[in-house]
Amino acid sequence: MDFRFLGLALQGARSNFGTLGSPYKLNFAITMNCQSRCTMCNIWQLKPKGELTIEEIREFASKNRSFRWLAITGGEPFLRSDIAEIARAFNDSSKGLYMITIATNSLCNHDVVVKRMGEILALRVPKVVVTLSLDGNRETHDMVRGVPGNYDRVIALYRALKELSKTYRNLSVVLGYTISAANQGHLQETFESVKKDLPGITYNDFHINVAQLSNNYYHNVGGGVIPDGSAVCKDLEAVQAGRRRGFGLMQITEGRFLDGLMAFVKTGRPPLRCRSLDASLFLDSTGNIYPSIMWDAPVVNIRDMGYDLTKVWRGEKAAGMRRLIREGRDPVHWTSCEAYQSIIGSMLHAPRRNPRSGPAVSAAYGQRPSEVSDRGK
């Protein structure tokens, strides 16, 4: 068994028994530039300035060597021509790095994407997962994403990356489906459509999320993106009926994530306490650190702390935010960016439900309870 996997598993096990001394997962939006025009996300409307340079990213990586899971997102990550160098910076510094995950809209030049992926895969990180966003059949996906021809580009890039995976066995390719008000109730129809273009596809090749509200990431608070709960349950039931349950750590975690997503939709409350600012953190493209992609409460900018997490991680502000999380007073959410850490951090004991109380709040995914300020003070 790979020693890097054992390292990740050990950190996950330790998180069952208390706060970690350093995070093992980094959610990193390396750019907020994006060519999509999504109906459920407003990142594409941003005009980012002052994004971290590759030199700054290298310095951050060199001073924070605990990461075992690097989740690269955007915007569109492949719009950064130095994406492979970003991956290299963390692989060189975090010797226990086991996994890199990358999300893409498939709109960049495919030859360039395949070339960059080859450079990343050549780093020999044990597991690299690329998620291609796909939110419907041809007509629906192009409508949701606001770009004609996007569906066909997803299918073409999927084929190209699957071909690349024949050379690099550490590469996995999945399709990321986000259920929103624009495509609710159509997942099964989407699966049948995709199967015509990719005959070998199964429900295990789909990763499911539900659209939620976030002011520091999606910038969609106030938008009509939240899907109807009954339609979401219909979609999730189709996925759960069609999936094969595996016995590996990630397969088990994915299964529990879907179970938790169903519970979240039905109750409006996350099934487990969040592990943000414990197992993980969110770093945006300009250097701001947040507890998660869902909590608009900046902790610090890495430029203001010499790119070293140590002091802030053990500082009073982070401790206060962790206390709010323990009390269930963080934003209402259940997204894969944070939920996996919650699941892994609960595997060695009976599941403990989040102490959040009160009525179901499914109409306000991502919103904070009214008694808590936006800054977590």
The pLDDT value given to residue 366: 52
CA torsion, points 320, 325, 327, 333, in degrees to nearest 10? 150
Quick one: pLDDT band at residue 352, thresholds 50, 70, 90? very low
The pLDDT value given to residue 249: 75
Phi, psi for 170 (deg, rounded to 5): -85, 5
Cis geometry, peptide bond prior to residue 75 (ω within 30 degrees of 0): yes
Lowest mean pLDDT segment, chosen from 45-59, 119-133, 339-353: 339-353
The pLDDT value given to residue 349: 62
CB 295 within 8 A of CB 325: no
Quick one: pLDDT band at residue 364, thresholds 50, 70, 90? very low
Residue 362, amino acid: S
The pLDDT value given to residue 362: 36
Q: Is the pLDDT of residue 371 over 80?
A: no
Can you give the C-alpha Rg of the chain in angstroms?
19
The pLDDT value given to residue 1: 55
Quick one: pLDDT band at residue 363, thresholds 50, 70, 90? very low
CA distance 200 to 197: 9
Instruction: Kindly report the pTM of this predicted structure.
Output: 0.92
Q: Which CATH number fits domain 3-364: 3.40.640.10, 3.10.290.10, 3.40.50.10320, 3.20.20.70?
A: 3.20.20.70
Convert the pLDDT of each residue in 165-219 to its tens digit: 999 999 999 999 999 999 999 999 999 999 999 999 999 999 999 999 999 999 9
Listed residue (47, 157, 168, 64) closest to 103, CA to CA: 157
The pLDDT value given to residue 323: 95
Distances (CA, A) of 283 to 7, 15, 43, 191: 22, 21, 15, 33
Q: Is the pLDDT of residue 284 over 80?
A: yes
The pLDDT value given to residue 282: 98
CA distance 25 to 99: 9
Convert the pLDDT of each residue in 310-342 to its tens digit: 989 999 999 999 999 999 999 999 999 999 999
State the average pLDDT over residues 284-297: 97
How many other β-carbons are positioned within 10 Å of the β-carbon of residue 329? 16
CA distance 121 to 91: 11
In the chain, % of residues over pLDDT 90: 85
Quick one: pLDDT band at residue 245, thresholds 50, 70, 90? confident
Convert the pLDDT of each residue in 24-38 to its tens digit: 999 999 999 999 999
CB 188 within 8 A of CB 235: yes
For the chain, the average pLDDT equals 91
- The alpha carbon of 140 is separated from its chain's Cα centroid by a whole number of angstroms, namely 23
What secondary structure, in 3-state letters, does 66-95 show? CCCEEEEECCCHHHCCCHHHHHHHHHHHCC
